[in-house]
Structure 1
Amino acid sequence: MTSFRHFIVLLVACSVLSAIHALKCMTCQGWTSFEDCDVNGRIKECMPNQNSCETVIRRIHNSRQLIFKQCKEKNTCRENMLQNTRLSGSSTQCNSDQTSSFCTCCCDTDMCNIAASACHPSVVKPLAGNDCPIQPSFLSHGEVTCFNENNAGSVCQYKCSDVDYFVYPVGHETNVCMRNGTWKHETPCCGRSCPPYFVYDFLNLVYVSIPEGRKLIISIFEGWNTANVIAEDAAKSAMLWFGESPIASSAIKFNDYGASKRRQIQLIRDKAVEKKNESVNIGAAINYALDNLMTPEAGMRDERVQRGISIFTDRISDDDAIGPAKQARRLGYNVMVLYVGTEVSNDERKHFNEITGGDELVFYYDHDAGSFGADSWQFLVENFCSSPCDHVMHEHDMV
């Protein structure tokens, strides 16, 4: 039994070492130039028995050249390369004095088949051109590896090292320095899918006096938390119920629940208020929130994070809400109104538009929590998820 254990340990150790030392090769199939091959190909980690990078250059009737790059078992690659000197007509298989040729090259170090190969100088000439701007030495949440630095024909590989991050734009995992001194495309970023990764500080001001309004609001936020990631580098929200005046005992700050969805929902359930029809002073609620909730002390993050105020109401404001809302917008907050009701007058629409600064930020709903928020959700996705690079905390340590 002990010997069997030792065998298993040795087998696992060998597997790990094999994975660590796996050869990496550029791979592509049938491109007409080395530049196109490296731009459109991909860097591949070879199988344990594939310990060579192979490049094949096929020239057809002097008018067309096709490039193939792949991982290959070393002995097989060497045998293919030996065919370069095989007689073909009056010359050899790999030649420059006939209309067609077939050349194979082998190498055995990481990325050794990047750019032009030295298979046969008379058939394949190295790239010559201008240097490109130097690529960054690292990506936030990822890494950059460049082969042949920033010289013409160099290839850079981008890899995201953190969980849930991916290279954006998709397909830009590699980049090539072209002969004119420019990179094939701009340096990508390591981004995350948005949604569910909104990077946003939401303040929710709530006045809902309809029957079972408290239950409706709880359902809305349970749905939101299920669909999104709540974290210090993703979405965070604060909440305040109000009526004639702000209800301080209902306040939930950004830093009251850490990154715990369960804790946040429990706080909403515990502090949600069943409102009756009374005066509604949205302006007073906005002023209270700006002074007490939208602050670093309450857990609001720095300027890297977009900020918004969402006002849930089933009535227009009895006080001046337009002035405080304008002040919030001047401070950089997106102000949204989510009206919960079955009917809305033109005067109410005008009032809400003046609070938000535009009708595209006012959303009207009936009392069905199941369909609540579809339009506002779509607005958020279209306006705050256009580029994952804009929705990533670019340092790990949060302020």
Structure 2
Amino acid sequence: MFSGIVICLYMRRSVCLLWYTIFYTQGKKGVDPMTDQSWPGILCRIAPQFNYHAAMNWLFYFISVLLAARATGTLCFVCDTAKSNEHCTRKGRIRRCARDQMCQNEARTTDRGIRIWKRCKQKLACENNYRQNVQCNPSELGSICRCCCNTDRCNLKLLYCHEKIIEQFPERILLCPPLEPPDNGRVICPNKNDVSFIGVGTTCTFDCDPGYDVIGQSSSRCTKLPHQNVARFDKEPPMCLKHECAIQHTELEGGNVTCNDSNMIGSVCRFVCEAGYVLSGSNLLTCEPSRFWSTVAPTCQLIVCPAHIDPANGLTECTEGNRPGSQCRFSCNQGYALSNNSTLNCSFTNETNAEWDKPAPICEEMLCSELGQINNGQFSCSKSNHFNSTCSLECNADQDYFPSPRNTEFVCIDGVWDAPRPCCTRNCPPYTKMDLLLILDSSSSVGRENWKSMMQFAETVINSFVVGSNLTRVSVIRYNRKVDNATQILFNDFLDDQEGLLNKLRTLPYRGSGTNTGQALSYAKRELLKESNGNRKEVTDVVVVITDGRSHDKVAGPSRALRNDGALIYVIGVEPDNGNILDEEHLIDVSGSATRVIRVTSGFSGLTDTFQADLTEHICGNLCSDGDSITGRFLERFSTSRKTY
């Protein structure tokens, strides 16, 4: 119809008549639009007389009004958590909802009575309300009733859902009779302001006045009786009785107590201890309305020092326990020792406290020294280094090592091993570990024959030891006015070739004059003791200087520098056959100590096999001094005696 009006008002009559014939008369015979009195016929006849633009303006205005009216939502009444419909009406307001919303009422049955909400709600949600109203039963807690309407102010006057349910199912509303409060007490129900609605599921509680206690059940619940349409509370109301504290304080061990009103509510008790006792807790207690005292009763504690118990692995003996004036003595079991004082005394520090005069000792185990790791063997102990531990030593016999001393079993007693720590060693000579440097004086005063004796002596010394990369390494130089570095033998020249070393030694020439021993010592420090030349930093350097006379240069400084690097310098001073006397102070300057000076007074002929054997014995010394190293052996043997040959 609307499209026809637009066509008739805005287009020509011919178009209007065509529309009339096709869509209105639908081919009916005898119908003439020029005489037809229906509204389409009249519209076709008068359409040409209209002002089309004015008509269209009115038409669009009319359409806008219709659309605006169609887009405007329903007027609804809104409120939140009202206690009744009248309460909702008083505090609520009118609100225009959105176009796709309706007016909704919601009533919930809570433990505080009915609560009401009115609001705008989506139409789809309202449709769901009808399916969800299976929860709607106002006589039961948790009931939720919802329903909607879609006309202005349709939810204003009535609760709508709730009243209709009550009208339709009045027998479903079950109420319990009001509860009477107990004497000296009161009853508290969630819907106390609405005594007409104490419905099934409502719980009421009971409380008593100050000074009284609830005797019985403190709450009761409204429930439906089985097989009856009647509701009753499930518990009888309690009684409120005046109360008192259950405990009556009359005695206090080690003191006394006084109360101003026995154990009645409000009574105050005072506690006092006798001399020699101290109060533990509060000195005042009050019987409170809760029928309990304000705190636990105090006690009178005897003033004592902290109790001592026997220390671990020890005993304690006290004259009077831990009371003031007592003396305690501590002792330890065998293998243990007290950490400090063995006697303690207990005495008062003030009127309420007593303390021991010193900290209590403990019994500490007397441990023997740690055996640690041992070269070329291992220790086996029953209890490590603890008291009464028995240890033994097993050496690598496949490498010719054996324990020294032979009886290797030893015991830890009171923190001390009952025997010296053994070691694993090999026969020395030939086995030892050192870097042996021979510095040979080849000055003209020595003479060729004596030089041969010196070389034979050096060869015999070298043959006394096993030369090897992990045992003894040997370096040899000769000197006079200067060092002969062209014929020198370095530590790494013959690491595992003892025969090659001796062959090289036999080729050393004898020539030159002058005796610059200081220069030879400096050269040894600067060149021969380098790691690149085979010297080992972890092995003791033993420097043996063989000379027959006084040096022409200063020796004290070079000797000190060499010894500061850890080298041990020994001087074999050989008095020549020409009757010259050796300067012993000069030899001490070379060695740094008189204990490392050996004088041979029978000339170079004194460098015999006997002297060589004695020298190697000094080098080997105690087999267990520093393992296979000879440092300790030299220090032990040469620090006690000097020999003259």
Specify the TM-score bucket, using the shorter chain as the normaliser: 0.5 to 0.7
Match of 2:504 among 267, 290, 295: 267
Spell out structure 1 runs of 4+ moving beyond 4 A.
Answer: 128-138, 147-154, 180-183, 343-347
In angstroms, what is the RMSD of aligned CA positions?
3.3
The answer on 1:192 being equivalent to 2:426 is yes
CA 1:321–1:148 in 2, change beyond 3 Å: closer, same or farther? closer
Question: Structure 2: which 5+ residue stretches go unaligned?
Answer: 1-333, 337-364, 631-645
Residue matched to 1:300? 535
Name which of structure 1's ranges 193-202 and 291-300 shifts more when overlaid on structure 2.
Answer: 193-202
CA 1:250–1:369 in 2, change beyond 3 Å: closer, same or farther? farther
Residue matched to 2:569? 335
Structure 1 position 133, deviation (Å): 5.2
- For 1:149 and 1:356, how far apart are their aligned partners in 2? 43
Give 2:485's aligned amino acid. A
Residue matched to 2:475? 238
Match of 2:394 among 159, 175, 194: 159
- For 2:382 and 2:591, how far apart are their aligned partners in 1? 51
- For 1:190 and 1:256, how far apart are their aligned partners in 2? 29
Give 2:464's aligned amino acid. A
Deviation string 1:5-35 (CA, Å, 9 cap, x unpaired) is xxxxxxxxxxxxxxxxxxxxxxxxxxxxxxx
- For 1:166 and 1:300, how far apart are their aligned partners in 2? 28
Match of 1:201 among 419, 431, 435: 435
Structure 1 position 284, deviation (Å): 1.5
**Contact 1:310–1:335 (CA under 8 A) maintained in structure 2:** yes
Within a 5 Å distance, the mapping from 1:280-359 to structure 2 comes to 280-303=515-538, 305-340=539-574, 341-343=576-578, 345=580, 348-359=583-594
Larger-Rg structure? 2
**Contact 2:424–2:627 (CA under 8 A) maintained in structure 1:** no
CA 1:315–1:176 in 2, change beyond 3 Å: closer, same or farther? closer
- For 1:235 and 1:250, how far apart are their aligned partners in 2? 21
CA 1:358–1:249 in 2, change beyond 3 Å: closer, same or farther? same
- For 2:504 and 2:381, how far apart are their aligned partners in 1? 49
CA 1:335–1:183 in 2, change beyond 3 Å: closer, same or farther? closer
SS in 2 for 1:204: strand
Give 2:473's aligned amino acid. K
- For 1:359 and 1:129, how far apart are their aligned partners in 2? 45
- For 1:259 and 1:369, how far apart are their aligned partners in 2? 31
Which has more helix, going by share of residues?
A: 1
CA 1:222–1:182 in 2, change beyond 3 Å: closer, same or farther? closer
**Superposition TM-score, scaled by structure 2 size:** 0.36
Residue matched to 1:140? 375
**Contact 1:313–1:339 (CA under 8 A) maintained in structure 2:** yes
- For 1:238 and 1:216, how far apart are their aligned partners in 2? 19
Within a 5 Å distance, the mapping from 1:360-379 to structure 2 comes to 360=595, 361-364=597-600, 365-368=602-605, 371=608, 374=611, 378=614
- For 2:542 and 2:369, how far apart are their aligned partners in 1? 38
Structure 1 position 142, deviation (Å): 0.9
CA 1:140–1:391 in 2, change beyond 3 Å: closer, same or farther? closer
Deviation string 1:152-183 (CA, Å, 9 cap, x unpaired) is 66543321015222212331x223455x5654
Question: Structure 1: which 5+ residue stretches go unaligned?
Answer: 1-127, 395-399
**Contact 1:221–1:265 (CA under 8 A) maintained in structure 2:** no
Residue matched to 1:381? 617
**Superposition TM-score, scaled by structure 1 size:** 0.56
SS in 2 for 1:390: coil
Aligned residue pair count: 262
SS in 1 for 2:477: strand
**Contact 1:166–1:192 (CA under 8 A) maintained in structure 2:** yes
CA 1:225–1:310 in 2, change beyond 3 Å: closer, same or farther? closer
**Contact 1:282–1:318 (CA under 8 A) maintained in structure 2:** yes
Greater relative CO (CA pairs within 8 A, separation 6+): 1
